Chain A
Amino acid sequence: MAERTVAVAAQAGLHARPAKLFVQAAMKLGVPVKIRVGSGKEVPANSMLGVLSLGAVQGTEVTLSAADGPDGEAALDALAALLARDLDAADA
């Protein structure tokens, strides 16, 4: 299992617009990605309700996981980069 741990940069946390952009990005990926906080319950990254239920605020470290392999690695890189950006910004 490939994993990435990244702190949520968006000021609003994974909520509102940042959550929407994250889930939309996850939906476009060809591989299933899961997300969790610490050792908490994993939820699919393409599930808006699951992502909101993480309660991840600005600075919360979240862990993304996907199956090993180049597709999984690429998906994790893309989503981790998104989380590390300030998704509140108007141009996000």
Chain B
Amino acid sequence: MPDLRGLGVSPGRTAGPVLLMAAAPALPPPGPPLSVEAGTAAVAAALSAVAAELDRRAGRADGEARDILESQAMMAADPTLLETAEEHVTGGMDAAHALDAAFTGHRVALVAAGGYFAERAADLDDLRNRAVAAVLGLPMPGVPDPGHPFVLVAEDLSPADTAGLSDDVLALVTEKGGPTSHTAILARGKGLPAVVACAGALTLEEGTLVSVDGATGEIRTGLDAPAAEEIRRQAEAERAKLAHSRGPGKTADGHPVKLLLNIGSAADLAPEAEGVGLFRTELLFLDRRTAPGFDEQVAAYAAVFKAVPDAIVRTLDAGTDKPLPFLELPVEPNPALGIRGLRVDRLRPDVLDTQLAAITEAARATGAEPAVMAPMVSTRQEATRFAERARAAGVRRVGVMIEVPAAALLAEAILAEVDFLSIGTNDLGQYTFAADRQHPALADLLDPWQPALLRLVETCAAAGLAAGKPVGVCGEAASDPRLAPVLVGLGVTSLSMSAVCVPAVREALAGHTLEECRAGARTALQRDHATIRP
């Protein structure tokens, strides 16, 4: 078995036996049941086996994961589901097809309910696969749970797969997925090494020992047990070192680089952080048929400002690609290129007015001085108008996000209008390479090491240095300990990421002088496509 290589999306090294996640079972050609009695008994046994397995996993999980698993067990144990399946058996279907048909019927009802209810359809698909596998005597799909540490290898992972991920999972390796895929974000959140877009991952043999390097994307095969043990020991020592990492971000020669947090609410704050570089306000708006009112927004913002008075707040980043029901936006054929981010303001200016007023009221009430930035700005004119609105509302520091190449190219002009820039590398990559962030086959184009993307970062950072204004990165690239020194070398002044990623980035910066960072940046800008990573 040759070594494999994919995209390293969550740093860290480990080694252990491979366990493959079983694929969804295929339905056999329809056949008659032995008898209605045998058929109904089979569907009942399959559904209760699925519910029991989920209950067992729920018992070992806690918090939100436990709630999710319990809800799924209750769906599997739903009396109306069993009733529908039994009716199909009585109507002449075999057990597997009766289960499939019963799930399909309930799926239609959930999708019809819309919004967050429709999203549960994915849970139902997972349950359907489990029930059909149970009735056919096939291995249960979903994340395996063998009771010992393992490297999880899958085609791709859904949110349902990862909800109850046990502590036994050493690393994630997927054949599909990209740097901004669900797998990548989850892995970084949990501090698990992860490699995505790894061609040939599914050909790895079950139980074979492999090492995973979540930074380089390298999967080594042919390890023996002592070698795997040694890699795990080294990784543990590395983690222990990071656990003691403290203090403000700076290079080996003392050049300061602020290490900030990406948060969705006050719950994501960490005591040691230097600040908040991206307060995503969408969380407050999710699940809503009506916009959250002024008072509710003030309370949510104040909770963050009390802890971090200089937090950078991003105004609502929603649109036809991330629909929020209360916005009542029309369906678009090309949502990523449609009404999203600041563009929502063209149709619903009231939303931004209320939000800006709530931010300044929360600032006044807490004595804070937050900064505010707009997502998806494309032109100098948009930046000017946003800055005018924000300053009129009482915001002192105004910035914009750079996610659209047009804005990056005009960074100098835009910086004449605002106080700072924050580069969202995920969307900037998507729009620079005309490659959908979620597209499983285009992960290489979305690699944050792409020289064309780094060139745009350099353009923005140079404009910031010339104007004496801060230019940060708040995309996933900022949390990559190998890329962070390159970004600093390009002239970026702050890096914003989830709290769990800060120690590794802090240590990476401390290991390089500013001149070394600049040399790394020059090299990265000149790499050709085949080997864009070091």
Contact = CB atoms under 8 A, between A and B. Distances in A.
A80 interface: no
Interface in A15-29: 15-17, 19-20, 23-24
B116 interface: yes
Interface residues of A, number: 24
B110 A52 contact: yes
B113 interface: yes
B74 A20 contact: yes
Contacts of B74: 20, 23-24, 48
Interface string B71-106: 100110111110000000000000000000000001
A90 B330 CA distance: 36
B289 interface: yes
Contacts of B120: 15, 52
Nearest to A15: B116
A48 B75 contact: yes
A44 B84 CA distance: 14
Interface residues of B, number: 25
Contact of A12 (B78, B287, B290): B287
A16 B446 CA distance: 33
Contacts of A7: none
Contact of B289 (A24, A52, A57): A57
Nearest to A11: B287
Contacts of A58: 287-289
Contact of A20 (B67, B78, B115, B287): B67
Interface in A50-78: 50, 52-55, 57-59
B112 interface: yes
B117 A50 contact: no
Contacts, number: 69
A53 to B, nearest CB: 4
Contacts of B79: 44, 46-47
Given A15-B116, A43-B80, A53 B71 contact: no
A84 interface: no
B80 A20 contact: no
A14 to B, nearest CB: 9
Contacts of A16: 67, 71, 116
A19 B71 contact: yes
A19 B113 CA distance: 14
B468 interface: no
A36 B288 CA distance: 20
B534 to A, nearest CB: 43
Contacts of A47: 78-81
A71 to B, nearest CB: 19
B114 A20 contact: no
24 contacts: A15-B120, A15-B287, A17-B71, A43-B80, A44-B79, A44-B80, A48-B71, A48-B74, A49-B75, A49-B80, A49-B110, A49-B124, A50-B80, A52-B110, A52-B113, A52-B117, A52-B120, A53-B110, A53-B112, A54-B113, A55-B112, A55-B114, A57-B115, A57-B288
Interface of B: 67, 70-71, 74-75, 77-81, 106, 109-110, 112-117, 120, 124, 287-290
User: Closest 10 A-B residue pairs measured CB to CB?
Assistant: A55-B113, A53-B109, A48-B74, A47-B80, A20-B71, A49-B106, A49-B78, A48-B75, A55-B117, A17-B67
Given A44-B80, A53-B117, 10 more contacts: A11-B287, A16-B116, A20-B67, A20-B74, A47-B78, A48-B71, A49-B110, A54-B113, A55-B114, A57-B115
